[in-house]
């Protein structure tokens, strides 16, 4: 991987997501203004329901804002076409979830390779890159295993390999340690910190745990969908 750096990588203005539920509206996030420089390690905190996952889904191009401005890595996500968003999700951001979200019928190497193959890259190159990432993640002996044969920590490291296969500028992790014991949680946080420090990736972690606190270069607290101090 090549180290990457530019200037502001995430910029939001009045970013708002309101969920329409029948007659009533639920506020996900409310008028959020953010400016994040490339190379930061952002730790996002807040009570359950404060809007962390809502914000991360918008930043990752998985969801669209109700209103406001949202620019990520020079992509205007408010006006992006569905094809732009697909490209963005595949190549610009790598996403890691609490529940791992691996494909149960694919082995570790295939899971890690999948986004590269979906992006139409050369299968041999994708496979060798996946193998390299799995080595780095300490999973070389698990390549042929199915997710059901892995520990939680191994599943999450497979998910990290998958998130990195297309060399994204930004890694977004939503409660990545939520299903792990503290030892494996620490391993995952250390890997994310290494991606940030060594490879200069911008990393954003939403978490209830304090494992990532000491790694943060930026801390953001959400309360009722808004940034609080
Ligand atoms: N798809 C949805 N439809 C309706 N309301 C939603 C939806 N997703 C989230 N919400 C609501 O938006 C608000 C913010 O939710 P969000 O999931 O972003 O919180 P969170 O900070 O990630 O919480 P947790 O720590 O429990 O993961 C909550 O009130 C939630 O009920
Ligand atoms: Mg959440």
Residue 65 Cα, ligand 2 centroid: separation in angstroms?
17
Which of 23, 26, 222, 228 best tests ligand 1's pocket when mutated (most atoms within 8 Å of CB)? 26
Q: Are residues 73 and 169 in contact, defined by beta-carbon separation less than 8 angstroms?
A: yes
1 pLDDT above the threshold of 80: no
Structural domains of the chain, with CATH: 40-52+87-228 (3.40.50.300)
In this structure, what DSSP letter does residue 106 have? S
Atom 7 of ligand 1, residue of closest alpha carbon: 19
Sheet of strand 41-46, all strands in order from the earlier edge strand to the far edge:
93-97, 170-174, 202-206, 41-46, 218-223, 226-228
* Closest-CA residue to 176 (of 125, 101, 85, 81): 101
User: What order of strands is seen across the sheet that includes strand 67-72?
Assistant: 24-37, 8-21, 67-72, 75-76
d(CA 51, ligand 1 centre) in Å = 6
Question: Which residue CA neighbors atom 17 of ligand 1 most closely?
Answer: 53
User: What pLDDT, in 10s, does the model give residues 136-182?
Assistant: 999 999 999 999 999 999 999 999 999 999 999 999 999 999 999 99
Cα–Cα distance, 204 to 202 (Å, whole number) = 7
The pLDDT, as a whole number, for residue 146 is 98
């Amino acid at each position: 991987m090549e180290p990457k750096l530019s200037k502001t990588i995430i910029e939001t203005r009045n970013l708002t997501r309101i969920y329409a539920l029948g007659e009533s509206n639920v506020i996900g996030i409310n008028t959020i203004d953010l400016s994040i420089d490339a190379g930061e390690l952002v730790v996002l905190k807040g009570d359950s329901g404060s809007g962390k996952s809502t914000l991360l889904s918008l930043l990752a191009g998985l969801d669209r804002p109700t209103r406001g401005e949202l620019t990520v890595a020079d992509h205007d996500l408010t006006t992006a076409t569905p094809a732009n968003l697909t490209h963005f999700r595949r190549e610009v951001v790598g996403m890691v979830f609490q529940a791992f979200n691996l494909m149960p019928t694919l082995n570790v190497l295939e899971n890690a390779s999948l986004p590269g193959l979906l992006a139409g890259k050369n299968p041999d190159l994708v496979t060798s890159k996946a193998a390299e990432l799995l080595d780095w993640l300490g999973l070389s002996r698990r390549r042929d295993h199915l997710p059901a044969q892995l520990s939680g920590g191994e599943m999450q490291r497979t998910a990290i390999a998958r998130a990195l296969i297309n060399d994204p500028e930004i890694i977004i992790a939503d409660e990545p340690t939520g299903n792990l014991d503290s030892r494996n949680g620490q391993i995952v946080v250390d890997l994310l910190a290494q991606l940030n420090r060594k490879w200069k990736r911008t990393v954003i972690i939403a978490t209830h745990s304090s494992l990532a606190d000491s790694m943060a270069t930026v801390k953001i607290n959400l309360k009722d969908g808004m940034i609080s101090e």
